[in-house]
Amino acid sequence: MKFTRKDANALKKLKRTSRQLPLFWTLVIAVLLAGCITLLALWCQPNALRSVLVIFEAQPLLIVLNALPVGLLVLLFTCLTRNVCFGAALTNLIVCGFSIANRVKIEVRDEPVFPRDLALLKEVGSIVSDYDIQYPLSVIAVVVLASLALVVLGFFLRCKPFPAKKLRGWRGSLLGSAASLAVLACLIVTVYASNDLYNSFKTSNPYYVPAVFNELGFPYCFCHQFTTYPVDKPEGFSKGQAELWEQETPPAVPGKEPQPVHVVMVMNEAFSDITDHEVFAYNEDSEPLPNLQAMRADPHAVTGHIVVPGFAAGTANTEFDVLTGIQTNALSATTTSAMWVVNRNLDSLFRVYGADGYHTSYFHPGDDWFYNRENVLRWMGAEETVFIDQMTAPEYKGRWVTDAYLTGVIQQEFEDTVAEDKLLFHYMTTIQNHMSYTTDKYGADYTYPNVPLHTSVSPKVETMLRVYIEGARDADTMLGDLRDYFAAQSEPVVLVFFGDHLPYLGDNQLAYAELGMTEEAHWSDLTAYETPYVIWANDAAFSLLDWSAAEALPETISASFLGAAVLKLTGHTAQSSWFTFLNDLLLSSFPVVQKNTAVQSDGRIVNPYLLDDHPPMQLDKWRQWSYYKLKYQEFDS
């Protein structure tokens, strides 16, 4: 189709009838259009626009925070196209397009769109094919029609050339767009990066990220997420080298073949043995953790401590470390949440056991959206996930599901799997002993046993200790009940029981300070992160396993090595160069790595990054390989 003289004349006539806007009115219209685009983007979200505006009315700063990035994009594209309406049309398509994608993702996967999703655009086709998506066609139509209307309006409202002659050409367009982009980038790394600002806004549930996106506005939340949950690329990272590590086949070891044993792992909320400390005055009759103490003397058990990622919080991070062998605290120089950095299929214990024919399952008596577990556990390869809404008649002690109820759930999962003639790998996360440890935790009339101490503490600390230790007793009962149940089974079973973190006992480690624990050597580096672990085998499993693999474990190890150690004990690392490497690192070099503190195999506590070989070759390999697994490793499902 040729561009004829008639078309040229029509274009000239259109230009003559169009109105040229001076700079002032161009900026005014840009602001108005940015506001309209922001409203349209908010309207595209799953919740009603009216409810969002009510929230904005109570917190007016949200209006600015949502409209500002939209306005800067309008200016950027206005400079490039030299037409405010054309710039607004492009902005509308981009902003509302992302907003619609956010709506679809929330409705399909209960997870919003994050900036990191931009790195997965090439995988969108395969991801979309996995879901039955109902696209909001009417919303898409409105966005497209609005953009077309802006394009048509742009032929009638043009911008006057910039007053400065030197800025009227391409140089001015590039400088203007670059300046807009620079301002937006500065705002993202300063204002939008502020966690204090983000957390200051009231939401119905600050822990449910899709709800936060809906209530605080998609543009603001999307910009905030640019600087959250970072993963630092290790210095000297080579994708090709990591691929070679992944392709290595571990050497065959006679007698270390996979053993047909069931594996049950229980991560118990805030389970700790702080009552072992000399400040407590328990005796044999009043011991709050008799089953843990008994298993320390059981020849079928190996006990010790794991060093977890966080103090008094971070359950999901401990899950991540144990299941993947990747260490949360090594992902970034800043604080991050391991579950939120995962957005693709990932290697884990579920995949290793699943590849060997196991039924793999993960149960947690909480909401599936918390820490995005519903998606992350699926990406880790768990065949079955069960959360509170799928549990039958859960029993509560106070506001949390009891450990006793979950003991029965584990037993039922085991029996169902055996009935199907399969082996079970099961991971249970409990919740009963979650904070807060106040007298009303289990009801106003609940009586808590006294806590004998060799020192005096404040009434507040005494209350917290009494309430917490009551929950610890129930956790210890769960450990004993599971041991007794599996001891009576003819099926071989390995039980792994451990705590996710120490309990939160007051601001600034109040209870620990009053008990004198914070004054001990290495408290802030290691001890504050230590929780007990137990690996126990019933008679049927013990006869199959080379128990020396368990007995060789150091008393204290990083949580990232616990899963690898269980795989080695049960003989399931033969096809995993990754978990074989972790076991080598555990036993030969650094059993514990916690930020800038490490315990060497000879027991010395060092800063590994201040050694002559810094960072040590093994730790550097661990970091690089972890990065590869998070960013590049492919799995079919």
pLDDT at residue 254 greater than cutoff 90: no
Of the candidates 522, 516, 536, 531, the one whose C-alpha atom is nearest the C-alpha of residue 598 is 522
Higher pLDDT, 480 or 257: 480
Residue 284 pLDDT: 92
List pLDDT tens digits, range 574-618: 779 999 999 999 888 899 999 889 999 889 999 887 776 655 788
Q: Provide the pLDDT confidence category of residue 204 given band limits of 50, 70 and 90.
A: confident
Residue 370 pLDDT: 87
Q: Provide the pLDDT confidence category of residue 470 given band limits of 50, 70 and 90.
A: very high
User: Is 294:484 a contact under the CB 8 Å cutoff?
Assistant: no
- Cα separation, 394 vs 411, whole angstroms: 15
Cis bond before residue 615 (omega within 30° of 0): yes
pLDDT at residue 1 greater than cutoff 70: no
Residue 160 pLDDT: 64
User: Is 385:377 a contact under the CB 8 Å cutoff?
Assistant: yes
What residues form DSSP beta bridges with 429? 267
Look up residue 110 and give its amino acid. D
Residue 528 pLDDT: 94
Mean pLDDT of 472-478: 98
pLDDT at residue 14 greater than cutoff 50: no
> Is residue 636 packed enough to be buried (19+ CB in 10 Å), middle (13-18) or exposed (0-12)?
exposed
List pLDDT tens digits, range 452-464: 999 999 999 999 9
The SS3 call for residue 312 is coil
78-87, 124-133, 178-187, 524-533: lowest mean pLDDT where?
124-133
Q: What is the DSSP letter of 453?
A: B
- Cα separation, 511 vs 517, whole angstroms: 9
List pLDDT tens digits, range 380-411: 999 999 999 999 999 999 999 999 999 999 99
pLDDT at residue 172 greater than cutoff 80: no
| Structural tokens at position 474 | 């129930």
What's phi and psi for 594, nearest 5 deg? -140, 95
Residue 269 pLDDT: 98
What percent of the chain stands above pLDDT 90? Answer: 69
Mode of pairing for the β-strands spanning 605-606 and 493-499: unpaired
List pLDDT tens digits, range 408-449: 999 999 999 999 999 999 999 999 999 989 999 999 889 999
List pLDDT tens digits, range 332-387: 887 678 898 998 899 999 999 999 999 999 999 998 988 889 899 999 999 999 99
- Cα separation, 117 vs 203, whole angstroms: 24
Q: Domain 239-631 belongs to what architecture?
A: 3-Layer(aba) Sandwich (3.40)
- Cα separation, 478 vs 272, whole angstroms: 14
User: Is 222:113 a contact under the CB 8 Å cutoff?
Assistant: yes
Residue 10 pLDDT: 53
Kind and range of the H or E run holding 412: helix 403-419
Higher pLDDT, 117 or 160: 117
Residue 169 pLDDT: 64
The SS3 call for residue 413 is helix
List pLDDT tens digits, range 284-304: 999 999 999 999 999 999 999
- Cα separation, 320 vs 314, whole angstroms: 10
The domain locations on the chain are 14-118+132-227, 239-631
pLDDT at residue 120 greater than cutoff 60: no
**CA dist list (Å): 434 to 143, 268, 311, 364:** 46, 10, 14, 13
Hunting for tokens 């979309």 — which residue is that?
128
Higher pLDDT, 97 or 26: 97
- The length of the chain in residues reads 637
7-21, 176-190, 225-239, 518-532: lowest mean pLDDT where?
7-21
- Cα separation, 302 vs 296, whole angstroms: 7
- Cα separation, 600 vs 54, whole angstroms: 57
pLDDT at residue 127 greater than cutoff 60: no
**CA dist list (Å): 563 to 18, 465, 559, 579:** 70, 31, 8, 9
224-228, 397-401, 417-421, 491-495: lowest mean pLDDT where?
224-228
pLDDT at residue 537 greater than cutoff 90: yes
Residue 615 pLDDT: 57
- Cα separation, 124 vs 435, whole angstroms: 40
Kind and range of the H or E run holding 411: helix 403-419
Of the candidates 93, 96, 45, 337, the one whose C-alpha atom is nearest the C-alpha of residue 212 is 45
| Structural tokens at position 27 | 């900026």
User: Is 506:460 a contact under the CB 8 Å cutoff?
Assistant: yes
Handedness of CA 500, 502, 507, 509 (dihedral sign): negative
pLDDT at residue 115 greater than cutoff 50: yes
- Cα separation, 477 vs 408, whole angstroms: 13
Q: Provide the pLDDT confidence category of residue 164 given band limits of 50, 70 and 90.
A: low
Residue 281 pLDDT: 97
pLDDT at residue 166 greater than cutoff 60: no
User: Is 368:110 a contact under the CB 8 Å cutoff?
Assistant: yes
